[in-house]
Amino acid sequence: MAASSSGISKIPELNRKIIITLLLLAVFRLGVFIPTPGIDGDALAGFFKASSGTLLDFATMFTGGALERFSIFALGIMPYISASIILQLLQVVVPKLEKLSKEGESGRNTITKYTRYLTVALCIVQGFMLGVGLEQMTGPAGEAIVLHPGWAFRLSTMVTLTGGSVFLMWLGEQITERGIGNGISLIIFVGIIARMPAAVYNTISLVGVGELSVVFIFFLVFLMIGIIAFIVFMETGQRRIPIQYPKRVVGRKVMGGGTQYLPLKVNSAGVIPPIFASSIIIFPATIVNFINVPFLKSISASLHPGGALYSILYVIFIVFFTFFYTAVQFNPKDVAENLKKHGGFVPGIRPGANTAAYIDRLLTRLTFWGAIYLSAVCVLPTLLISEFNVPFYFGGTALLIVVGVAMDTAQQIESHMLARNYDGLLKKGKIKGRSNR
């Protein structure tokens, strides 16, 4: 670790990226504490305390506590994630969007622009609905949460929450472009991490009042360590397909040849499926909690983490998005064509369509086990600890996101360091000598 830290300090570009990332994430954390105008904070805190153990706690975790405080970032980054899901699904059924996705950088920029527009539209709808719903809510003692109800409050809430989410979207894009790691995932990661100390303190307090035993705390710690170890094992697991390249005779020299490997990860989709699945379930149900419609409230109440309906829907969405996102990110036909173009082939498999079918078959099997792994990690620990009133921050979904994003960011840092080392070798080798002649 010390060697890695010293290596990072010697790379100015990597230092700059890390500093930019930390500063932008600090801006996000500051925004969590800026309240939306017109809200009685004490009454709102009482409302959330009375709703402890419901889906609102899960939504608060994904917003880093912004929803609980009803800050300018109360909607979080979820509208942007929802818009991304919708656009990716539409690429399958809308030929124009599918064509754009295959046009390289310009096509991706156009789709990104559409995603931003859709994000704004979703924020406007969700912000207005939350404003209307809050006017109907009261604190534990019957006190009004909204100080001055009316159209002025609804419109100001809509504008404030829309501006906050759009700013978060911009913040995430800046982290991805100018910093290190995936900006959207890092925002969720930091939100979860920031809430964990309070979750640890609350859990210890439950031990102090006798609601939880010391034995259970030890069990919880060992469970978390076991889950983290399992996540690391599965995230680094891969199937390596041998690729044979023929030797070429150039003049009197024999060039190329040998065997390389095409690595296929067990979980190619990373932490995206749980995040997508959570966004689809959490925020519609969260908005329903603020709307006084008995039928919708009964549906929302049945979607509490650890419940049967929530677990079934969660698993279905995780499996779907694991296969869908893997298919979007990895195209066996393109891989097979590139191998054929460069003379590579899988031993025992004919190049072209047969190679594509072989890779697709292996990828489907790996993705199936990846989907089972994600579902088990996200659902089983939550089912286990939901009976003991333990915060969701110790559940499988939170641990998966934290560990997965941390590993992905660490890999990107390592890639920068390796690239810099290769640059150093080139400068010290023959290429530099030739340039000086």
CA 21, distance to chain mean position in Å, is 16
Query: CATH code at 270?
Result: 1.10.3370.10
Whether 4 maps to a domain, the answer reads no
CA 220, distance to chain mean position in Å, is 24
pLDDT tens-digit readout, 367-415: 999 999 999 888 877 766 666 656 555 667 788 888 888 888 888 888 8
Whether 43 maps to a domain, the answer reads yes
Whether 433 maps to a domain, the answer reads no
pLDDT tens-digit readout, 248-295: 655 666 555 677 888 889 988 888 888 888 878 876 666 666 666 666
pLDDT tens-digit readout, 295-335: 666 666 666 666 778 788 889 999 999 998 888 888 888 88
Cβ atoms of 202 and 370 closer than 8 Å: no
Whether 314 maps to a domain, the answer reads yes
- Residue 281 main-chain phi, psi, to 5 deg: -85, -45
Whether 148 maps to a domain, the answer reads yes
Average pLDDT over residues 43-70: 76
Q: How many independent structural domains does the chain possess?
A: 1
* Percent of the chain whose predicted confidence (pLDDT) is above 70: 81
Whether 2 maps to a domain, the answer reads no
Token pair, residue 307, equals 């419940």
Burial class (CB in 10 A: 0-12, 13-18, 19+), 230: middle
Helix (H) or strand (E) holding 424: helix 396-428
Whether 3 maps to a domain, the answer reads no
- Residue 346 main-chain phi, psi, to 5 deg: -85, 125
The residue to which tokens 């070798």 are assigned:
425
Going by C-beta distance under 8 Å and a sequence separation of 6 or more, which residues neighbour residue 416?
11, 13, 14, 17, 180
338-347: which pairs have CB atoms within 8 A and are 24 or more residues apart?
A: 339/243, 342/245, 343/245, 343/246, 343/248, 343/256, 344/243, 344/244, 344/245, 344/260, 345/243, 345/244, 346/241, 346/242, 346/243, 346/244, 347/242, 347/244
Cα–Cα nearest to 392, from 288, 314, 324, 322: 314
- Checking if the pLDDT of 337 tops 50, the result is yes
The residue to which tokens 């207005």 are assigned:
128
> Which residue range(s) make up the domain with 88?
14-427
- What does DSSP assign to residue 387? G
pLDDT tens-digit readout, 10-40: 777 888 889 999 999 999 999 999 888 888 8
Q: What is the pTM of this model?
A: 0.81
DSSP string for residues in 171-197: HHHHHHHHSSS-HHHHHHHHHHHHHHH
- Residue 253 main-chain phi, psi, to 5 deg: -105, 145
Whether 399 maps to a domain, the answer reads yes
Torsion-angle region of 38 (φ positive above 0: left; ψ -120 to 50: alpha; else: beta): left
